[in-house]
Amino acid sequence: MSVEHPGVRGEADRPRCSAKGCRAPATEDLQWRNPKLHDAARVKHWMACAQHADGLSDFLAARDFLLARSPAGR
Ligand SMILES: [Zn+2]
């Protein structure tokens, strides 16, 4: 299950969910910006797994931070 394969592109390169305590691979890329902190050119990314994508997205949308959602990884 957790055998390391040095030299093989693997877990470390894969984006993980941004939700606290979640180590699942991200399936969605949430793009957001806080207009009070970031200028219009800045786009922040939260990677989210399927379980947390909606929750994180709602969190951002409720604050008017959410810009876009797209599938993560490939
Ligand atoms: Zn998650």
Q: For 5-57, what is each residue's pLDDT tens digit?
A: 555 555 567 889 999 999 999 999 999 999 999 999 999 999 999 999 999 99
Q: Does residue 4 surpass a pLDDT of 80?
A: no
The Cα 48–Cα 26 span in angstroms is 5
Q: Does residue 1 surpass a pLDDT of 80?
A: no
CA of 5 to the centre of ligand 1 (A): 24
For residue 13, give the 3-state DSSP assignment. helix
Answer whether residue 4 is part of any domain.
no
Answer whether residue 7 is part of any domain.
no
CA of 25 to the centre of ligand 1 (A): 8
Burial string for 29-48 (b: 16+ CB within 10 Å, else e) reads bbebbeeeeeeeeeeeebbb
Residue range(s) defining the domain that contains residue 36: 13-71
CA of 45 to the centre of ligand 1 (A): 14
pTM for the whole structure: 0.77
> What pLDDT score was predicted for residue 14?
80
CA of 71 to the centre of ligand 1 (A): 14
> What pLDDT score was predicted for residue 58?
97
The count of structural domains within the chain is: 1
